[in-house]
Chain A
């Protein structure tokens, strides 16, 4: 009921703020995102209302992140993706290499009270070629039913004596090095300054060494909840929304540990040379409006990138009892020991550190 109200009010308000740029019905755009529960939240909060409003169609596709596909498409001049959900460091790199359309921020819809978009978006969420939609986080989680006295801190994740069992980690250097350092006692605010030094990197790898034999590596966001459910791992790093959905949607007894979370942004980008640029821009503007962002937060526990969306975030869409606010990475209680992913550090060092990570892994 609540949702229906939300959607209809959304459609109304958008009708006012966005009437000018609405495109002719009958087109189709391809929207690419991360699949699973995350894509579902976007389908519910962005796609369906946009389709209802404009009469256009959406083809939804999944991918596993990275800019390889975008680069291949743009360089081949055969762009079949119209709008893509990417991580910040990838958005920056793709923009630097000229793979993306630039986005005119003045065309983004203002907040309801008239605050222009450039002020309504949280600082650091608008870029030349990218507009953030959500704040997400990499956390770790465990199965409460198997571990009633569960881990509390990042150090516990690395402590296989106290908490025996396999660990799930994303295959790659990013985030794992941050986790390792925090588990080794580095304060969240110092993580990247430690990582700037060769000794810091050595230290992180040394910490990873201590659990290397117990790690199951995952690649797709849908895997960690599956690994936990199958009992393949005792605890695993994961995207917080995926764990939340397993808990709220499928009644899984998982528990999120927020200590040491590394949060990041997801942003919409438009690959250069798409034949549906107008429609893609229209969709981008629509979906990053105040209400759609708030609506998405009722489907998955990722925080909206607009300040004006925050007060509208209510309860979980399919279970009224669950209040979404405490589930957000940006909830103050969850931020006590947290790091924001440093995109500049990773843009500079990802190649080299992944090489070292692969060498380390193969040993």
Chain B
């Protein structure tokens, strides 16, 4: 049982090659043949060695199962990957031109990326004060600045409050635990339209908030508070998950050795729950970065964020600029995902759960 046979089973591979050749002859398209070999070849790759008593029927069954899974994975990932090449389209279309398919370099261009920077600028071709013009006037640059500012501050709020609360919630003595947890998770469950509507009315009231006699709607603070609220559930969930594997005797050991509460927190608890906190913070960050409903209801043009700008772009004049922005966002989520994965591994190492 320990010997590994090659992944690809012989008869299957030959059948695949023959079928691909037929497909190619029928369509004369390398792209179609490539797609065909991917969809039907990847399952073959995963056909592990099966016990000797496996019937042919079971083998076919397994192959079909794997093909279905491959198709589902393709369904999941294709839309995200397909926009990346499209964003380099030289033409203002949302589809592959013939030039792109035949890999003609002139069919590709960076014009939509240039457009991201230049759209809204007073003088995109001028050299004088180009940088300050871009920083202050470019629509997308402003949106990005708003997005990151709002996301950063709301993440800090959500993480600080959320971690504290998670520490309380994971104590065995916590009263009304499930009621309070349900309350704190509910911003994730309640439809955003309802949350945003409620906040829209609430924040528009005058003479209610200190320092903001005109109300909080159309201010950065209003959106930051809204996004912090929406990020809280993620912090609670990830930090309590980390704390569930937390050995409470460590706290007692620390206290037994004479450490104060603060020392215990920063020297013992914090390092251990840090991965949970950071991944919670990342979730809160990406939630804020992606959130658009509350922004639609609460923000003014001055506080437009990237998703808000995309929303109106898609609604009114959908141009490949949106695809270029989308590509940048995909690259960013890959970076965040990598960070999260590294954190998860670190956390597992710390807790002695190294992957096999």
Tell me the A residues contacting B by CB distance below 8 Å: 35, 61, 72-73, 75-78, 80, 219-220, 222-223, 226
Contact = CB atoms under 8 A, between A and B. Distances in A.
Contact of A76 (B206, B301, B317): B206
A317 to B, nearest CB: 22
Interface size class of chain B, counting residues whose CB lies under 8 Å from the partner chain:
10 to 19
B214 A223 contact: no
B316 A72 contact: no
Contact of B217 (A61, A78, A222): A78
Nearest to A72: B204
B5 interface: no
B229 to A, nearest CB: 20
Contacts of B218: 73, 76, 78, 80
B316 A223 contact: yes
Nearest to B302: A80
A122 B215 CA distance: 41
A220 B215 CA distance: 30
Given A80-B300, A222-B316, 17 more contacts: A61-B301, A72-B200, A72-B204, A75-B204, A76-B204, A76-B206, A76-B214, A76-B217, A77-B206, A78-B217, A80-B218, A80-B301, A80-B302, A220-B315, A220-B316, A220-B317, A226-B317
30 contacts: A35-B316, A61-B301, A72-B204, A72-B217, A73-B218, A75-B204, A76-B204, A76-B206, A76-B214, A76-B217, A76-B218, A77-B206, A77-B214, A77-B215, A78-B214, A78-B215, A78-B217, A78-B218, A80-B218, A80-B300, A80-B301, A80-B302, A219-B316, A220-B315, A220-B316, A222-B316, A222-B317, A223-B316, A223-B317, A226-B317
A219 B300 CA distance: 21
Nearest to A73: B218
A77 B218 CA distance: 11
Interface string B194-233: 0000001000101000000011011000000000000000
B274 to A, nearest CB: 40
A220 B218 CA distance: 24
A76 B316 contact: no
A59 to B, nearest CB: 9
Interface string B313-334: 0011100000000000000000
Interface in B182-203: 200
Interface string B270-300: 0000000000000000000000000000001
Contacts of A75: 204
A77 B204 CA distance: 8
Nearest to B215: A76
A73 B302 CA distance: 14
A330 to B, nearest CB: 29
Nearest to A221: B316
State the majority secondary structure of interface residues on B: loop
The 6 A-B pairs with the shortest beta carbon distances in the complex, nearest first, are A76-B204, A220-B316, A78-B214, A77-B214, A76-B215, A77-B206
Contacts of A78: 214-215, 217-218
A78 B301 CA distance: 13
Interface string B335-346: 000000000000
A35 B204 CA distance: 27
A219 B316 CA distance: 8
A222 B315 CA distance: 11
B146 to A, nearest CB: 15
Nearest to A76: B204
Contacts of B316: 35, 219-220, 222-223
Looking at A61, A72, A226, the one whose CB has the most chain B CB atoms below 10 A away is A72
Interface in B129-162: none
A30 to B, nearest CB: 9
Contacts of A220: 315-317
A80 B217 CA distance: 12
Contacts of A223: 316-317
B315 to A, nearest CB: 7
Contacts of A61: 301
Contacts of B300: 80
Interface string B244-256: 0000000000000
Contacts of A76: 204, 206, 214-215, 217-218
Contacts of A73: 218
Nearest to B300: A80
A135 to B, nearest CB: 25
Contacts of B315: 219-220
Contacts of A77: 206, 214-215
Contacts of A222: 316-317
B97 to A, nearest CB: 15
A222 B313 CA distance: 12
A341 to B, nearest CB: 23
A77 B216 CA distance: 11
A76 B217 CA distance: 8
Contacts of B200: 72
A75 B200 CA distance: 11
A73 to B, nearest CB: 8
A192 to B, nearest CB: 31
A224 to B, nearest CB: 12
A78 B216 CA distance: 10
Contacts of A35: 316
A223 B316 CA distance: 7
A56 to B, nearest CB: 17
A80 B215 CA distance: 14
Nearest to B218: A78
B223 to A, nearest CB: 14
